[in-house]
Amino acid sequence: RREMRPFGVRVSIIEPGGFRTAIIDPVTVVKGFKQQWERLPAETQAAYGRHYVDSYAKSTVLLHRLSSSRLSRVTGAMAHALLARFPRSRYAAGWDARLAILPLSYCPAWLTDA
């Protein structure tokens, strides 16, 4: 909340990349996705096609493989933001965040969306 700056409140943005946590566990994510898929009307399923489910499952597995298991990068950024005398305004935790997410955050929305 950068609007809090006039009141002496400092805000740091922490942008983590992909990390191996339960939220990206492929088994859990794909299971939940397939449950939601089964609840969709037949016409919606037909519009997306079965290949959509399969490609989503593959991308989830790929994301998990490319993710880091070193959560200390995120907690280290949090600790620095909270305890440092001069915290940074923006932290990128993980190599994927530094190489992709952080540069994209400075780009116009139309480029980021593409």
- 107 contacts: CB under 8 Å, gap ≥ 6: none
List, for residues 77-103, the tens digit of each pLDDT value.
999 999 999 998 888 888 887 887 778
Residues 73 and 60 in one domain: no
Give phi and psi for 15, each to the nearest 5.
Answer: -115, 95
Rg of the chain on CA atoms, in Å: 19
List, for residues 7-27, the tens digit of each pLDDT value.
888 888 888 888 888 888 889
DSSP 8-state secondary structure symbol assigned to residue 3? G
List, for residues 25-82, the tens digit of each pLDDT value.
889 999 999 999 999 999 999 999 989 988 988 998 888 888 888 888 999 999 999 9
Distance, in Å, from the CA atom of 20 to the CA atom of 11, rounded to the nearest integer, reads: 26
Residues 9 and 39 in one domain: no
Work out how many domains the chain is built from and give that number.
Answer: 2
Check pLDDT > 70 for residue 1. no
pLDDT on residue 14:
87
Domain that holds residue 63: 21-67
Residues 60 and 94 in one domain: no
